[in-house]
Amino acid sequence: MTKWDAPFRLIWENRSVPHLVSIFSFGRTHTSVTLNPIPSRHNLQMKRTSAACPPILKTTGKRSWRRRRTRGPGSAVEQRRSQILERKKATEELIRKAVAVKDHLALFSDFHKYQRNGLSVYLESGRGHQLALPMRKYIQNLLKVNMEEPYGAEWPSEEKVKRREMVVPEARYIFVKQYSNGFITENSMKEGTEVEHMHAACSESCLLGFVHYRFVVEEELPVLYVYELQMEPSAQGKGLGKFMMQLIEQMACKNQMGAVMLTVQKANTQAMAFYTKLRYVISSTSPSRVDPQIGLEKSYEILCKAFDSEAKSKLEDGDY
């Protein structure tokens, strides 16, 4: 099958289940389902390739129609190919630069502390492969407390996937930590007070939540993907989630990512309402938008917020 034989190609990547490939045919169109070996981000995308013939160029003069040169150096195909390669290189370079930053949080001093709604916390960054055992246990426990219910029967397998993906070097974290026992309270803390020296006193016991994010390529665009946003039940509804997402969006923009993306279980109606409030929309790459039938079978949606016109067009509007 050449690329001209396939006017419509549906590529479905379910990253939780690697290496499985199947192909469906609908008359002259083909739908291929590929499952990407990168673990656990769900991605579903429909690509349209133009049908059949190479383009014909209309010219003036005696020979009114002439076949355009379509192969070889300088041809339209070759130019298009080199444009695509350049864009791919530029995207990879942006990801490489973002990944090379040691501490993204350090660049956003407005987000180092949060003192509102009875909370007095500070943020701290971390990396997946540097998490100490107590921290890994903390993350696993909070995930179970918050996510077992929305995942339902899928939880046991999803939990295994999450345990694997939480400790890899690409996994970046921002932790929410409480100032330790009464040393600094909301009342005693003054705006701008230097409290960094207190941070060492806080261990896993005073964690209130975390966000796990990565810089990845989706639909050939660089994006910041939120793998997890988890707050302790006692810390929910106090503005912390919004604060964390504002930080995430600023980090995405600073690193020239086209969008922030994330996956939400449909059963997690609270999280859906939260992200809707923050103006996230169901991405055109989400199963329900690629194919409503497949969407019905899937328990999740992919949400996004785009920051430039190309990302908006590809990830929100679904223009290919």
Ligand X SMILES: CC(C)(COP(=O)(O)OP(=O)(O)OC[C@H]1O[C@@H](n2cnc3c(N)ncnc32)[C@H](O)[C@@H]1OP(=O)(O)O)[C@@H](O)C(=O)NCCC(=O)NCCS
- Which residues of the chain form contacts with ligand X (CB under 6 A)? 146, 229-231, 236-242, 262, 264, 268, 270-271, 273-274, 277
- CA 182 to each of CA 107, 117, 120, 197: distance values in angstroms, whole numbers, following the listed order: 28, 17, 10, 15
Which amino acid, 17? V
Q: Tell me the closest approach of the beta carbon of residue 126 to ligand X, in angstroms.
A: 18
Q: 30 or 112: whose CB is closer to ligand X? A: 112
Q: Tell me the closest approach of the beta carbon of residue 263 to ligand X, in angstroms.
A: 7
Q: Tell me the closest approach of the beta carbon of residue 17 to ligand X, in angstroms.
A: 20
**Distance separating the N- and C-terminal Cα atoms of the chain:** 21
- Determine the Cα–Cα distance for residues 292 and 285; give it in Å rounded to an integer: 12
Q: Tell me the closest approach of the beta carbon of residue 47 to ligand X, in angstroms.
A: 27
Q: 252 or 262: whose CB is closer to ligand X? A: 262
The two three-digit tokens of residue 282, written as one number:
């169901």
CB < 8 Å & 24+ apart, contacts of 238-245: 238/116, 238/117, 238/118, 238/119, 239/114, 239/116, 239/117, 239/119, 240/114, 240/119, 240/121, 240/176, 240/208, 240/209, 241/274, 242/274, 242/278, 243/111, 243/114, 244/174, 244/176, 244/209, 244/211, 245/278
Q: Contact at 8 Å (CB) between 15 and 41? A: yes
Q: 84 or 273: whose CB is closer to ligand X? A: 273
- CA 293 to each of CA 166, 287, 288: distance values in angstroms, whole numbers, following the listed order: 31, 9, 7
Q: Contact at 8 Å (CB) between 45 and 13? A: yes
Q: Tell me the closest approach of the beta carbon of residue 220 to ligand X, in angstroms.
A: 24
- Determine the Cα–Cα distance for residues 248 and 243; give it in Å rounded to an integer: 9
Q: 164 or 242: whose CB is closer to ligand X? A: 242
DSSP letter assigned to residue 302: E
Q: Tell me the closest approach of the beta carbon of residue 141 to ligand X, in angstroms.
A: 13
Q: Tell me the closest approach of the beta carbon of residue 158 to ligand X, in angstroms.
A: 12
The two three-digit tokens of residue 264, written as one number:
């939400």
Q: 6 or 211: whose CB is closer to ligand X? A: 211
The two three-digit tokens of residue 200, written as one number:
């060492």
Q: 10 or 243: whose CB is closer to ligand X? A: 243
Q: 169 or 237: whose CB is closer to ligand X? A: 237
Q: Tell me the closest approach of the beta carbon of residue 78 to ligand X, in angstroms.
A: 44
- Determine the Cα–Cα distance for residues 267 and 273; give it in Å rounded to an integer: 11
Q: Contact at 8 Å (CB) between 215 and 145? A: no
Q: 136 or 266: whose CB is closer to ligand X? A: 266
